Amino acid sequence: MSTDKRKARPALGMGLDALLTDSLEGDYFLCPVEKITPSPSQPRKIFPPDSIEELAQSLREKGLIQPIVVRKLGEGGYELIAGERRWRAAQKAGLMELPAILRNAGAEEVLELALVENVQRENLNPVDEARAYKLLMDTTGMTQESVSGRIGKSRVAVANSLRLLSLSPDCLDEVRNGNITAGHARALLAAPHQHRMDLLHVIIDRGLSVREAEALASKPLKPKAAAKAHRDPDIMAVEKKLSRALGTKASLRQGRKKGSGTITLRYQTLDELDRIIEIVEGRGR
């Protein structure tokens, strides 16, 4: 009796490390940076410059430990499957070549691999994550159940993520920028459509918790609160100035006492927090 010795395609829910390990043998090579093209299937749309600079500095000092993953394109080029942050940082660091793993992957697998890397490794923005799930479903015809099995998340988690896409672009921008969380966004979904923008501004201005936002979404805003929901242009200008100076998202919340308030700074990693502290301490001397 004959035996099929071909390797079965690994389940994506096993994680990217399992996929990379399965590809190491015979596929490892040094890929010229200039011949690499980013994938249009990349779920992550925002690459903070400070994060790329930090990674570039690490590459200058230590080199790249984890190889990128690519597939062949015509005329000797390569398309990125996984590792766009590393590729961008390598360009900034002036590297000419990167260790890479070559995969013979179709368009569907490229999207799946890129999604898994971002979801499991890089704390993918909730909006980009939701859009990646939708793209995967639209491209492959997968159901929510199938997607959840491939990426190792529950079907409920995938469904809740996809629900975010029914919000307006303005609401989604606030999620992407870190001004509100995915939990706040789901609270907005519970509010009447015509009240969502007012509620959004109240959540940001008052610094409401998710539970407080959910409670407010269940009842209509009072006219006075709705009037206050429209943000002060001067406060927005100060927020932009702080954000530029510190290289991170800053938000201001006015206090009850005239002239008082709270400043909130967003950070994604401990390294980013250390960088913010260094800036603040340096300017305070």
Which amino acids are annotated catalytic?
84
Which whole-number Å values give the CA distances from 244 to 53, 78, 178, in the listed order?
Answer: 16, 35, 15
Q: Report the amino acid identity of residue 210.
A: V
What angle (nearest 5°) sits at the alpha carbon of residue 237, between those of residues 204 and 256? 50
Yes or no: say if 265 and 246 are a contact pair by the CB < 8 Å rule. Answer: yes
> What region does 168 belong to: left with phi over 0, alpha with psi -120 to 50, or beta?
beta
Helices (H), 177-269: 182-189, 196-206, 210-217, 223-229, 233-246
Q: Quick one: how far is CA 31 from the chain centroid?
A: 26
User: Which residue from 79, 112, 106, 108 is spatially nearest to 12, judged by alpha carbons?
Assistant: 112
Q: How many Cβ atoms are within 10 Å of 138's Cβ, its own excluded?
A: 9
Q: Which two tokens stand for residue 44?
A: 């992550």
